[in-house]
Structure 1
Amino acid sequence: MAGRIREEDIKRVRDASPIADVIGEYLQLRPAGADNLRGLCPFHEERTPSFYVRPSRGVFYCFGCAQGGDVIAFVMKHDHLTFVEAVERLAGRAGIQLRYEEGSAAPRSQQSYRTRLLEAHKVAHEYFMEHLATPEAAPAREFLAERGFDAQVAEHFQLGYAPAGWENLVRHLRARRFTDKEILDSGLASPGRHGPMDRFRGRLIWPIKDLAGDVIGFGARRLDEHDTGPKYLNTPETPLYKKSQVLYGIELAKREIARRQQAVIVEGYTDVMACHLAGVPTAIATCGTAFGTEHIKILRRLIHDDAELGSGISRAQIIFTFDGDEAGRKAAERAFAEDQRFVNQTYVAIEPNGMDPCELRQHKGDAAVRELIAQRVPLYEFALRSTVDQYDLDTAEGQIAALDAAAPIVASIKDWSLRQRYAVRLSGWLGLPDEKLVLRRIGQQGRQGRGGRRAAPRPEPPGQGALFLVDPNDPKLFLEREALKLALQYPAHTGPEFDEIEPEAFVAEPYAKVRHAIAEAGGASSGVAGEAWLERVREHAPDDQVRSLVTELAVEPLRDQRPNGAGEPDPRYVTAILARVQERHVSRRIAEVKSRLQRVNPTERPDEHNRLFGELIALEQYRRGLLERGIEGL
């Protein structure tokens, strides 16, 4: 196959890409027992984490949607890449030069198209950064200086300048052997009468990156008053850039967001810069669109705040900062509509004089920016106060009108205890001492909101058919499942003892197929371990469902609660599980022999009767030994 990556290079990439480090760049992982990490699944919406990573085995698995595999599979699934594209991305991350079947490196025509677009953005970014120091870019540097950003800051945030002219960047990219189609598809140019023309011209440039740190688009600020284009111009929708899924500054802020359990949402690029410089390194911004569901998913995976789900208490904080004008207030109210998708607390921080973080830092210094964030108020409170302030509370009519306007907001709060507390506070803000009236009005709004609506059918988790080949909680199959987990996760501890278990001991068909794949891979005593062992077993699995089950079993924690200090299973537990699996199989054999023995007349067929009787005695003795081993370890 033309352009196929050499197998030894794929192995190098996999070995140089620790799965916990790679996945940790996309979402927060926390310890979950011996050699296990856990986080919120990036492949389906969930509040309680069911996504597990097993670093020592190099695999991940989600028990909610059945997605699983190695580090390459994760990048493929998360970033919607082909196998080759995922390997190329990981190779770039690890600094590995890939070799292809036909030569020492892939011809450009054989590189994945997505990789080509990323490379075009990288070249364009370098081009823009180089031009920020040119005489033509003086207005861009002045713009930054006026807002308190010097050359060192510009370098830190990797800002650039797009020179004026219609084809400067296009010619530069062509010289680097990018095709016109690649240049247009990347969003770096727009179609013109005579071919592609630069999209960004005479503007200050901000690079927009994904979680992995790759440049996927740009934001550009108009500098010339004669420029009739928009004040801010962003990359259009492209195969790389989806504005509903990108957040400016996320690659800089992600680790602090995870560490501090906090994200500060600001409105502009310069606000992100101001916050980071002022000591608020969790600031990020949307790019030409309102903060929405896809942004929420990204933050929830980073923050991973689920420990106290259902209690109404949360340590994580999402803080929105908006201009103090009406537009900012409406933006805050829109954010309120999305708030309950979080498992965390959401706040609003608005400067009384209407200054954004960049202006605040410029006029009052870094401490003022930090103080703005520190004085945040809960988003519920902000939405209610903003609504109430629109009415004349000095009149009875105004009070009741404000109550009717605010009641739906309180009624929409899902947490019952929090809803009750805000109802009492609303009573005080309105100057209505009759709390029962307020509660009654809110209750009516809640019933009206629910009335006449049919609950939407609950969608089945993706991949559920593949996941539940067998009930993982079936007590009758517990021993079979645990034995397979031991053989896949700790082959050196099970070795010949597992391999001696007859295949027929696994009565569940999916488990029997996994047992067969283990045998075909050389058995637990083959001497292979870790990622190589799991990869070999998966290669011998008969289909994708069994491969998925292998990954699931390789990640699922053991039921034993007595791991030793090295995070390995208690040897007694290993012996007990394997002995009990074999004992159950022997018990079934004993029942079969007894049944046959009852059907044999000892007078008519004495030889067969004696043979079966001797077999029964041997099986009973073997069973007693297995029982003793099993009882000792469980």
Structure 2
Amino acid sequence: MYYSDDIVEEVRSKNDIVDVVSGYVKLTKKGRDYFGLCPFHNEKTPSFSVSGYKQMYYCFGCGAGGNVFSFLMEYENYSFLEALEELAKRAGVDLPKQEYSEKDRERANEKETLLEIQKAAAGYYYFKLRNREGETALSYLKNRGLSDDTMNVFGLGYAGKYSSHLYQYLKGKGYADEMIAKAGLITVDEKRGANDRFWNRVMFPIMNANHRVIGFGGRVMGDGTPKYLNSPETLIFDKSRNLYGLNRAKSTRESYFLLCEGYMDVIALHQAGFTNAVASLGTALTVGHASLIRRYVKEVYLIYDSDPAGVRATLRAMPILKEAGLSVKVVRLNPYKDPDEFIKNKGAKAFEERIRDAENGFLFSITASEGDYDMDSPEGKTQFMRETAKRLTEFEEEIERNYYVDAVAKKYGVKAEHLRSLMEKQAIQMGLARPVLRAKSARKSVTEKENGLLQSQKALLTWMTENVSIYRQVKEYLKPEDFSGELYKTVAEMIYRQYEEGQLNPARLINHFTEEEEHRQVAALFHTKLNQLHTVQEQEKALGEMVLRIKQNSLDEATKALDPTDMAGLQRLVEARRQLQKMEKITIRLES
């Protein structure tokens, strides 16, 4: 679905960012900006700023930033279109109707019907648990330590002993057999007809991030099998891309999720006050789960069962989470099997201590592999250290690798230099380039140069939006295409255009981007801290150096890309370098 730039800007301009953010964050005015505690990470000193002048927000602590669309996208986990529609409703802007194809309309209607059926089924199960038929199931849940409030919050229910009552109930509400079957709530047999998929089970409604029921998990009462039964995958339920408890955990103020194995673990943790607990849905952790988690947090604490199967599941999950860009820690529960059992025996405070003592994921995996070797013999321990050294070579970043070398050396009582020597031997055997560290140090200087250039571009763009006189001077020496990277080029081009049209509007500029991460990056371009330069002379000198650095890099890149047979292009570059030499004598003046 597409809306014009004019519509998007109308919605944005009619939603003052200070008013919108004030509905979520307590703001205090300081100077011309507003400050408060960042809603996207825990902090004690306010570093979250909202500018009515720029119509943007930015956190100097975690880097979150953007315009009013970005805020709803990040806080409510909306897509750009969902944020646009919500803000249009808030401002009373009527969005033009979008035409659906017949196929799209049919699919949308089917999804909505399936959601209605799941909601009706959840209500049916909820009622059954709380009447006479559900007494056994209710006693089971209370014996597991769940309060009435917790059961109500999670919408727990009961599927009765008779295998067609839900089917009859849904038929009575007018739903067709085909749709009830597509919802995964019945099975159809030629001889026996339609029967409920779930019966004689405690029911756990599974909700999506927007609190809508999309499926169920059922725990059998008695000795039936399977012990746990989940809804099949449907048009609205993909178990590899949904997490149990996410609808509640997404609002946590913690910077991490507690990732568990089962429904009861999540519910027990939430009841104990750990409202950032989630679980995969009866399946091993997938790339889809990891990507979903990454939308909300950057760190995961794994709390799988402490038995051998739980350890194996932990080891399988860690590389998937790391590949998604998440850092991982492991909470040890010994001597208890799972979070539910631990909290019942030791309480919430002891569980908090286990979280504080959580082990780094890599170190946990090293410890877990000890069982594969005879650690009491010199040969076994040597083999173990060789394998550990091999795994240490997999870290690409030198700083990170050195940290783990020191940590492993300390843990196993070996000298760090001996471990590094063993790593080199393992690297040679695996055919890796040698010496590893020398190659990394060469890359380091390139990285520093790149980081310096990006910082110069960020600072210059910030300064240009703060002071029109700086823009007027800079444009004489730099064109938008002189900036490095597509994002910087695009933003510079839009700033230049807005100034030439007589109205700088950074918040409107962000409308050009629809991804949350792009909003964050663009916002950072307008909020680079400049207060480390105290005097006007220092600031003017820094401005001149930034312009020179950006122009020099632009000419270097143009030289690399030049076709050797392009003589006209070569002449233009020679002339540009002559101009660059003259630029070394100029200063960008700050006008008050």
| Short-chain TM bin | 0.5 to 0.7
* 1:557 maps onto 2:553 in alignment: no
Structure 2 length-normalised TM: 0.61
* 1:410 maps onto 2:392 in alignment: yes
Match of 2:305 in 1: 323
**Alpha-carbon distance in 1 for matches of 2:506, 2:196:** 50
**Alpha-carbon distance in 2 for matches of 1:217, 1:283:** 19
Structure 1 length-normalised TM: 0.57
CA deviation digits over 1:551-603, x for unaligned, max 9? 998996378969xxxxxxxxxxxxxxxxxxxxxxxxxxxxxxxxxxxxxxxxx
**Alpha-carbon distance in 2 for matches of 1:150, 1:473:** 53
Match of 1:348 in 2: 330
Conserved? CA contact 2:66–2:519, under 8 Å: no
* CA shift for structure 1 position 330: 1.0
Picking from 123, 128, 138, the partner of 1:131 is 128
Match of 2:162 in 1: 165
* CA shift for structure 1 position 343: 5.8
CA deviation digits over 1:338-397, x for unaligned, max 9? 353376653222332242121223344444434443443222222222222443333222
Q: 1:550 to 1:302 in 2, by over 3 A?
A: closer
Picking from 275, 280, 286, the partner of 2:269 is 275
Match of 1:297 in 2: 291
Equivalent residue letter for 2:278 = I
RMSD: 5.9
Q: Which moved more, 1:439-448 or 1:114-123?
A: 439-448
Conserved? CA contact 2:491–2:522, under 8 Å: no
Q: How many residues align?
A: 477
Conserved? CA contact 2:494–2:509, under 8 Å: no
Conserved? CA contact 1:28–1:301, under 8 Å: no
Equivalent residue letter for 1:445 = Q
Picking from 245, 251, 256, the partner of 1:262 is 256
Match of 2:214 in 1: 216
Conserved? CA contact 1:189–1:199, under 8 Å: yes
Picking from 202, 205, 215, the partner of 1:204 is 202
Conserved? CA contact 1:300–1:342, under 8 Å: yes
Name structure 1 gaps, 5 residues minimum: 1-6, 40-47, 61-68, 78-82, 102-107, 305-316, 453-471, 487-492, 495-505, 539-543, 563-629
**Alpha-carbon distance in 2 for matches of 1:550, 1:398:** 52
Identity, % of aligned positions: 24
| Pairs within 5 Å for 1:533-572 | 557=526
In structure 1, the residue corresponding to 2:323 is in which secondary structure? coil
Picking from 153, 156, 167, the partner of 1:156 is 153
**Alpha-carbon distance in 2 for matches of 1:348, 1:474:** 39
In structure 1, the residue corresponding to 2:237 is in which secondary structure? coil
Conserved? CA contact 1:388–1:402, under 8 Å: yes
| Pairs within 5 Å for 1:579-598 | none
Q: 1:161 to 1:419 in 2, by over 3 A?
A: same
| Pairs within 5 Å for 1:97-108 | none
Match of 1:313 in 2: none
Q: 1:231 to 1:21 in 2, by over 3 A?
A: farther
Conserved? CA contact 1:427–1:438, under 8 Å: no
Match of 1:244 in 2: 240
Equivalent residue letter for 1:557 = F
Equivalent residue letter for 1:119 = E
* CA shift for structure 1 position 318: 2.6
CA deviation digits over 1:213-260, x for unaligned, max 9? 22222221111324x3x211222222322222222112222233x43x
Conserved? CA contact 1:147–1:362, under 8 Å: no
**Alpha-carbon distance in 1 for matches of 2:367, 2:174:** 58
* CA shift for structure 1 position 269: 1.2
Conserved? CA contact 2:166–2:196, under 8 Å: yes
Equivalent residue letter for 2:213 = V
Equivalent residue letter for 2:368 = S
| Pairs within 5 Å for 1:365-384 | 365-384=347-366
Q: 1:34 to 1:362 in 2, by over 3 A?
A: closer
Equivalent residue letter for 1:340 = K
Conserved? CA contact 1:280–1:370, under 8 Å: no
Match of 1:400 in 2: 382
Q: Which moved more, 1:205-214 or 1:439-448?
A: 439-448
Match of 2:425 in 1: 444
CA deviation digits over 1:164-196, x for unaligned, max 9? 334333333343344444333333334443765
CA deviation digits over 1:432-479, x for unaligned, max 9? x56554333333334555649xxxxxxxxxxxxxxxxxxx9999xx99
Match of 2:572 in 1: none
Equivalent residue letter for 2:406 = R
Conserved? CA contact 2:304–2:311, under 8 Å: yes
Equivalent residue letter for 2:234 = T
Picking from 392, 395, 407, the partner of 1:422 is 407
In structure 2, the residue corresponding to 1:353 is in which secondary structure? coil
* CA shift for structure 1 position 15: 6.6
* CA shift for structure 1 position 204: 0.9
In structure 2, the residue corresponding to 1:187 is in which secondary structure? coil
Conserved? CA contact 1:324–1:350, under 8 Å: yes
Equivalent residue letter for 2:129 = L
* 1:231 maps onto 2:227 in alignment: yes
Conserved? CA contact 2:336–2:342, under 8 Å: no
Name structure 2 gaps, 5 residues minimum: 1-6, 25-38, 98-104, 434-453, 469-477, 482-489, 532-587
Match of 2:439 in 1: none
* CA shift for structure 1 position 54: 0.5
* CA shift for structure 1 position 268: 1.3
**Alpha-carbon distance in 2 for matches of 1:557, 1:213:** 35
In structure 2, the residue corresponding to 1:248 is in which secondary structure? coil
Match of 2:552 in 1: none
**Alpha-carbon distance in 2 for matches of 1:239, 1:378:** 38
Q: 1:554 to 1:331 in 2, by over 3 A?
A: closer
CA deviation digits over 1:527-551, x for unaligned, max 9? xx999x899x99xxxxx99xxx999
Equivalent residue letter for 1:207 = P
Q: 1:424 to 1:551 in 2, by over 3 A?
A: closer
In structure 2, the residue corresponding to 1:373 is in which secondary structure? helix
Match of 1:119 in 2: 116
Conserved? CA contact 1:392–1:399, under 8 Å: yes
**Alpha-carbon distance in 2 for matches of 1:554, 1:190:** 52
Equivalent residue letter for 2:230 = N
Equivalent residue letter for 1:408 = K
Picking from 137, 145, 161, the partner of 1:140 is 137
Q: 1:534 to 1:343 in 2, by over 3 A?
A: closer
Match of 1:358 in 2: 340
Conserved? CA contact 1:333–1:383, under 8 Å: yes
